[in-house]
Amino acid sequence: MHNTRSAVKDLTAGSPMRLILGFAIPLFGGMLFQQFYNMMDTLIVGRFLGVQALAGVGATSSINFMIIGFCMGVCNGFAIPISQQFGAGRYDKMRRFYANSIYLSAVFSVVMTAVVCILCRQILQWMQTPSDIMGYAYTYIFIIFLGIPVTYVYNLFSAAIRALGDSRAPVVFLVISSVLNIILDIVFITAFHLGVAGAAAATVISQGVSGALSIIHIRRKMPQLHLGAEDRAFVHSYAEKLTAMGIPMGLQYSITAIGSVILQTSVNTLGSSYVAALTAGTKVNAFFATPFDAIGSTMATYVGQNAGAGKLERIGQGLRAATVIGVLYSISAFVILFFTGRQLCGIFTGESAGDLAYHGWQYLVIVSAFYIPLHFVNAVRFLIQGVGYPGTAILSGAFEMVGRAGVALFLVPRIGYVGACFASPCAWILADIFLFCAYRLTVKRLYALKAESGRA
């Protein structure tokens, strides 16, 4: 085992800016490819199956985020104790947390798959999904939900890899799976004529490949996570801590998404053409917002390792470095989307001069003008989660939910589609107000705990 080349990375020593960039760039590459193959679903559906199929897939995006986001959040939460124990050098405890996270993920995935598949159609009806796209929406999201166990496999093992400081390997896996997804999209839709079912199946299969490659990588390159007989026991106290970390982070995604579900419901009442425009805009936005997700995940690992090592002064240094990166990117992204947003939306709609592309551009310009608040939502939230206070994530998610739901209930009925474009900016600003206060309190609490442990 000791002859195996290790791929782990220590983030507790060295320049925070260099470490954060070195970790975030490969992670960004992986997330970019993940968004890329998600976009290919939408692009191929829109081009080959038409606007109604595109709207049907788009109408599921918020409920998709609510459920699949919960899976992602849980797995990221499970990785926090792993990164903390790695930073502290307690590898025996790290392996036990890792083993127990696998057991919990298996249980969560089975229960969630059964529940959401049973309730799938009722949820879409409650969201007032237009009747002309209901069939497309139900077929697509039902298959995605059947793949929840695959989602857990990929997210759990890739999160464990990142917890030990390796953000490069998941990039390679996602490149492979993204290419596979594109091939399967084209084959399933154009050759086998499977429609939106083919697009959904391609996504699930591709993610399964990424999960399998993550497991192989751990076996070959990460001896620190190889489980011996003494590591495999189910430990109630470890399971409790993992659950206390994972569920709040999962709920943070889901609570945030509740506002998106309410917003989607409101947009659905405007008609399928606006649903299609919003779908195109949100897909392009997801692509451009990927660096913020990468920065957030980087902060969780960076802070988790440094908090575990007791190097609290590096937390603030890391946030300042991440903010410089985030602000510079936000300004650049706004300029690019302002001048090219209509053409980018036209990729999905098949034309760049009509109403669909124009409304997609409206959404992109408004949202990208508020990218700096989005940066802080990700950087500060994941920082707080990384030091072990996941309950804060639920509260920040609640503020986002209130922002989106408020716009959906009060602004969209009055000014229509443009009101929907301001939903996310309002959500981010409300979340930031809470997170800035929570950050100050968290740092004070950490230093107080360190002082108490020093006296003890």
Helix/strand/coil percent split, the chain, to 5: 85, 0, 15
Residue from 411, 82, 355, 366 nearest 238 by CA: 82
Does 9 fall in a domain? no
Number of domains present in the structure of the chain: 1
Does 7 fall in a domain? no
Give the pLDDT confidence of 100-122 residue by residue, as tens digits.
Answer: 999 999 999 999 999 999 999 99
Residue 297 phi/psi, 5-degree rounding, is: -65, -35
Does 127 fall in a domain? yes
Does 10 fall in a domain? no
Does 90 fall in a domain? yes
Burial (Cβ within 10 Å: 0-12, 13-18, ≥19) of residue 453: exposed
Residue that is written with structure tokens 């790290």 in the block: 94
How far apart are alpha carbons 39 and 57 in whole angstroms? 11
CB atoms within 10 A of CB 440: 10
How far apart are alpha carbons 396 and 330 in whole angstroms? 21
pLDDT value for 286: 84
pLDDT value for 455: 59
Which helix (H) or strand (E) is 33 found in, with range?
A: helix 16-49
Q: Are 279 and 54 in contact (CB under 8 A)?
A: yes
Taking the model in full, what pTM does it have?
A: 0.75
DSSP-assigned letters across all residues of 276-290: HHHHHHHHHHHHHTH
Does 410 fall in a domain? yes
Residue ranges for the chain with pLDDT beneath 70: 1-7, 34, 37-39, 41, 349-353, 454-456
How far apart are alpha carbons 116 and 141 in whole angstroms? 10
- Range of 406's domain? 16-455
Does 319 fall in a domain? yes
Burial (Cβ within 10 Å: 0-12, 13-18, ≥19) of residue 449: exposed
Q: Give the tokens for residue 441.
A: 């309190």
Does 254 fall in a domain? yes
